[in-house]
Structure 1
Amino acid sequence: MTSTTSQLPSQHLAQEKQVTSRLVAALQQEQMLLSGNGDADEIPNVIGEKAKIVAEMAALADHRHKLLAALGFFASENGMQNWLDQHGTDADKKLWDELFEIAQSAREINRVNGLLVGKQMAINQNALKILQGRSGGGSLYGPDGSSSVRTTGRPLGVG
């Protein structure tokens, strides 16, 4: 096995970029499903795929952080930027910038997805309140199952 000090923190940036691009695609698919475009039953599959991708991203970042620490840099994104400023090639710097942009895109899509989930939860809560008879307008049905909706005015039917 190769020692960590003989490896460069930039050696897996292309792979990190590719994995982060996969995350963006999964988040976009999730957003489509959360927006009601597609089969909502697919959401758990997308969530599972996202979890795998995030675990892969975390492993790659952890490896990069260990390499940075072994070289005397902070084990962080700032440490990586410092390493690139001192030792990175133009290609490394370009990959890092592209990776950062893709990560920002993923963060924004994830933020919007969170809003969509919150919106859907509110809709579901309101539907449950209505079904449980806790809405502001009262229950549609009484405990005996008869309608409790009261109307005003004259009946429409002639008897």
Structure 2
Amino acid sequence: MTSNPLLPSHTLSDEKQVTSRLVAALQQEQDLLSGNGDADKIPDIINEKANIVASMATLADQRHKTLAALGFTAGENGMQSWIEQHGSAEDKQVWEELFALAQSARELNRLNGLLIGKQMAINQNAMNILQGKSNGSFYGPDGQSSLRSSGRPLGIG
């Protein structure tokens, strides 16, 4: 691929590399959210993701400005048009790989959000139980309620 900074394809390899790092960080986050590993590492992953996303935004902004200067829409549609009209075979391949990585990152992020929501619900239920605010009932292995009432048992018989 050409390294001409006047072409929108100039940043594609860097964007692909950074997006690969994001996918790896999201996969690591997913493992931690699934209980595979040390949950104390999640804040580090969050910081790493923020740095990666900032790098991605900077690179995409460069590409968008170059596209606009060449008369194309400053976005993914403009890049697709530029690739179709002026891109080399290598440009097209890297763009397709970058697009696929971005789709993977989007899906991983969506799934991680679901895992976070699930964990938050579990934590909220635990807090409700600890605070005596539980609306649910608990059943033991024999199917009988394991909750005890605070009243006296009724004497029957």
TM-score, normalized by length of structure 2? 0.85
Structure-2 separation of matches of 1:106 and 1:62? 19
Q: Does 1:74 align with 2:73?
A: yes
User: How many Å apart are 1:6 and its aligned residue?
Assistant: 6.2
Does residue 31 (structure 1) correspond to residue 30 (structure 2)? The answer is yes
Corresponding residue for residue 145 of structure 1 = none
Alignment correspondent of 1:56: 55
| Count of residues in correspondence between the two structures | 141
Q: Say whether residues 1:47 and 2:46 are aligned partners.
A: yes
The match for 2:91 is: 92
Query: Which segments of structure 1 move beyond 3 Å, counting only runs of 4 or more?
Result: 151-154
**TM-score, structure 1 normalization:** 0.84
Instruction: Kindly indicate whether residue 1 of structure 2 is the aligned counterpart of residue 16 of structure 1.
Output: no
Q: Partners in 2 of 1:125 and 1:103 — Cα distance?
A: 33
3-state SS of paired residue (1:117): helix
How many Å separate the matches in 2 of 1:102 and 1:152?
A: 63
State how far apart, in whole Å, the 2-side matches of 1:34 and 1:153 are: 46
Task: Give the direction of change, closer, same or farther, for the CA distance of 1:52–1:6 in structure 2 (3 Å limit).
Answer: closer
Pair 102,153 (structure 1): closer, same or farther in 2 beyond 3 Å: farther
- For structure 2, the residue ranges without an aligned partner over 5 or more in a row are 138-146
Give the structure 1 partner of residue 144 of structure 2.
none
> Deviations 1:133-152 (Å, cap 9, x if unpaired)?
111158xxxxxxxxx93285
Distance 1:122 1:90, change over 3 A: same
| Structure 2: distance between partners of 1:135 and 1:12 | 54
Unaligned ranges ≥5, structure 1: 139-147, 155-159
